[in-house]
Structure 1
Amino acid sequence: MSTTNLIDGPLPKAIPAALLPPSGNGVVHSHFSVKGDAGQSFRNWQERMGPVYDVQPPSARAMDTFHASVTRHSIEQLSLLEIHTGANLAVRSLARVSTESIDDISFSLFLEGRPAQYLGGRSGKASAPPDAAPAVLALDMAQACTIHSFDSRMLLLFAPRKSVEKFIPDASSLHGRWLRAEQPLLRLLCDHLLAVRRDISVLSAKKMQADLDTALQILVTAYGRQAGLDGNGQAAVRAAVYAQVRRHVQSRLHDPMLSPESVLESLHLSRASVYRIFQEDGGIAAYIRNQRLRAAARQLMVNPRIDILPLAFNLGFNDASTFSRAFRMAFDITPRDLRKTALEQPFNLYGKSRFSTHDEINMLAT
């Protein structure tokens, strides 16, 4: 028999954070859980996670025996979720992220069970996940992804992009990247967040805010070290150069003359230094191409009647076939198929053309 436990309201209702009853310490708190068989638990979980992810069963058996729970604590722009879940696939499609305004960065700290498999924006290609917990997976909620979760327990921190980019020049570069157990700061992060979760019912709102800010600083420091953006004045210079190049590229995506060479010449930078800074992005040429492809996806979703050939030319591609191949390689869908999706579904499944980040996070456990 399937059972559903919902503290803050009936399942179909999504209550804005401002209307949720705060806990005694002023922190917004909610809990939702499912347990049972015959697939009802999984369907309830699909509906609950629907505002953020399209959740799919990895097998019929997994659907029949599914169990999960999520507990959320939110303060200001930060949310900490504790999630226990059975096996599932969580998908944010290109069509979906192109029409929503969610742009938080999420950090999933896997504590028990097998860490999830990050499949990128395409269902067939996996990055190598860590062998065991603890491990952290960063995701840019503005980018497409597919996550294969197993029976596991995790703590999930949602942070605003602007908070992350105080330390990491381009937060989108974190998408799909892991912190593994052997990295020194990971144990510190585990101890810190577990203490926050244990004491959260007695923490003041001010103390919780400070503790979550500390957790975020540990995370961005660890990822910064991984990308070579940590340490001294040299790291600050690297961060400034990254931001300078990013601004230059974003303002010239439709310029047919935009190229690695034009960037280096315009900004008076050395090829070797820029290559090192953009190494995690596959190099400056790959960065430019990926930003152009993301811009194309957004334009196709916003204006699906646009002709693909002029769009490709305007974004620096020499012909439609080259553009289509690159687009499919990046997103596992062709431009024509994405345009067809946009024409058939001009609004998302929840009756809105756009959500805000915190509207969607609030729906997870309300």
Structure 2
Amino acid sequence: MPNESARDAAAGSGIATTRFSTHSLAASEQLLAWRSRVGHVVDVPPSKRQLAQGFAGHIDLYAVGGMIFTDCSTDALMLERSVARVSTDSRRDFVFHVFLDGEIGNVTGMHRKRSAAEPVKGIVAFDLNQPFRNERPACRLLSLFVPRDIVEAGLPDAGSIHGRIVQQGSPLGHLILDHAAAISREMPKLDRHGATDALTAGAQLLIAAFRKESRVTGAGRASLQAAVMGQVRRYVEANLHQGNLTPASVVDELQLKRATIYRWFEHEGGLGTYIRNRRLREAAEELVRFPHLQVMEIAYGLGFKSASDFTRAFRRAFDISPQDMRARAVELLNGGT
């Protein structure tokens, strides 16, 4: 959970970042330190066992563009936002918890119990303008705090999603999980603009997932397209060296609609062209990074079937042959002109 200083810092330049862990603390201090860390938003009632045996918790926080994203791992714990807390603090945003590992646990405190009878993996939404209690097992979760006006713009009856759960296997659940995990991996490398775009897309995907209508429209549609294209790009990037990487293999593996994906990549010249261009860019980087490798070793490793095909495609993309690019790079590295 974020603190107010990080929230205020987000209004300045760049991305406000904080990290906190109980690892270096004495066992008797760990739960109390965690309670103090998140206590401005929720209470963490301590148990005798936690006070005696210790509590493991780690959180990375990023604040940018009016939103806050956290990557948090903890032992089992109880979170409670009481009526008294709601009535005395000013937190009125929404928080969406996306569970990467572990179950959501028991969610109570609303007008009716929202948690499922069996353990559930997925996403839970909380309106910080309402009380709740969440007793959860050890887990790793990614949280996105979204300003109230953004949620209400997409959900006229926004308060009704409080405590609601979207299961991992739902139509948008898997895509949100993938998008949130990608944000967690990439956030340390993103600039303010890139981070804001990623979190905005995530917020719109979450709003779409909790909207009762099955049809995704408006900002949700644009965010859905951005998230799916990001998913495709990440899959391509991870499989550039697989010889069987093709447009068909991508849509089949990710279980996407072929016509839609092909249409969305038209501005790249098509998905096949996008894959080839990424392989050529990777080849150019490897020619410099691995001077001990033969040019054709690099080409074959990136799925090119012949020397002539690779050289022709490389020259068309960079207006230089692979061998000349490597020679020029070596000359520059050695201080030549």
Q: Offset of 1:149 from its aligned partner? A: 2.0
Letter in 1 for 2:21: S
- Relative to structure 1, is the Cα distance of residues 94 and 221 closer, same or farther in structure 2, using a 3 angstrom cutoff? same
Which residue is equivalent to 2:29? 40
Which residue is equivalent to 2:247? none
- Relative to structure 1, is the Cα distance of residues 125 and 201 closer, same or farther in structure 2, using a 3 angstrom cutoff? closer
SS of residue paired to 1:15: helix
Greater fraction of residues in helix:
2
Structure 2 contact 94–127 (Cα < 8 Å) conserved: yes
Which residue is equivalent to 2:44? 55
- Relative to structure 1, is the Cα distance of residues 206 and 101 closer, same or farther in structure 2, using a 3 angstrom cutoff? same
Letter in 2 for 1:155: L
Letter in 2 for 1:116: G
Which residue is equivalent to 2:224? none
Q: Offset of 1:125 from its aligned partner? A: 5.7
Farther off after superposition, 150-159 or 31-40: 31-40
Letter in 2 for 1:90: L
- Alpha-carbon separation, structure 1, partners of 2:214 and 2:169: 19
The 5 A counterparts of 1:77-116 are 77-116=66-105
Q: Offset of 1:229 from its aligned partner? A: 6.8
- Relative to structure 1, is the Cα distance of residues 90 and 165 closer, same or farther in structure 2, using a 3 angstrom cutoff? same
Which sections of structure 1, spanning at least 5 residues, go unmatched? 1-12, 234-366
- Alpha-carbon separation, structure 2, partners of 1:34 and 1:113: 20
SS of residue paired to 2:22: strand
Structure 1 contact 115–130 (Cα < 8 Å) conserved: no
Q: Offset of 1:159 from its aligned partner? A: 0.2
Which residue is equivalent to 1:194? 181
Structure 1 contact 129–178 (Cα < 8 Å) conserved: no
- Alpha-carbon separation, structure 1, partners of 2:151 and 2:185: 25
Q: Offset of 1:171 from its aligned partner? A: 1.4
How well do the aligned residues superpose, as a CA RMSD in angstroms?
A: 2.7
Structure 2 contact 11–64 (Cα < 8 Å) conserved: no
- Over residues 224-270 of structure 1, what are the superposed CA-to-partner deviations in whole Å (9 max), with x where a residue is unaligned? 1xx2374579xxxxxxxxxxxxxxxxxxxxxxxxxxxxxxxxxxxxx
- Relative to structure 1, is the Cα distance of residues 132 and 145 closer, same or farther in structure 2, using a 3 angstrom cutoff? closer
Question: What TM-score do you get using the length of structure 1 for normalisation?
Answer: 0.54
Structure 1 contact 120–127 (Cα < 8 Å) conserved: no
**Aligned pairs, number:** 214
Find 1:138's aligned residue among 112, 125, 136. Answer: 125
Which residue is equivalent to 1:184? 171
Structure 2 contact 77–135 (Cα < 8 Å) conserved: yes
Structure 1 contact 21–29 (Cα < 8 Å) conserved: no
- Over residues 167-223 of structure 1, what are the superposed CA-to-partner deviations in whole Å (9 max), with x where a residue is unaligned? 110211110000002201111111111111111111121111111111111111111
- Alpha-carbon separation, structure 1, partners of 2:28 and 2:120: 28
Q: Is it true that 1:71 corresponds to 2:60 in the alignment?
A: yes
- Alpha-carbon separation, structure 2, partners of 1:214 and 1:129: 31
Which residue is equivalent to 1:15? 5
Q: Is it true that 1:228 corresponds to 2:213 in the alignment?
A: yes
Structure 2 contact 67–145 (Cα < 8 Å) conserved: yes
- Alpha-carbon separation, structure 2, partners of 1:19 and 1:192: 25
Letter in 1 for 2:66: Q
Q: Offset of 1:54 from its aligned partner? A: 1.1
- Relative to structure 1, is the Cα distance of residues 119 and 18 closer, same or farther in structure 2, using a 3 angstrom cutoff? closer
- Relative to structure 1, is the Cα distance of residues 98 and 230 closer, same or farther in structure 2, using a 3 angstrom cutoff? farther
Q: Offset of 1:110 from its aligned partner? A: 0.7
* Structure possessing the higher relative contact order (Cα contacts under 8 Å, 6 or more residues apart): 1
Which sections of structure 2, spanning at least 5 residues, go unmatched? 219-337
Structure 2 contact 91–129 (Cα < 8 Å) conserved: yes
- Alpha-carbon separation, structure 2, partners of 1:70 and 1:181: 22
- Alpha-carbon separation, structure 1, partners of 2:199 and 2:117: 25
- Relative to structure 1, is the Cα distance of residues 129 and 82 closer, same or farther in structure 2, using a 3 angstrom cutoff? farther
Which residue is equivalent to 1:117? 106
Which residue is equivalent to 1:207? 194
**Among the aligned pairs, what percent are the same residue?**
30
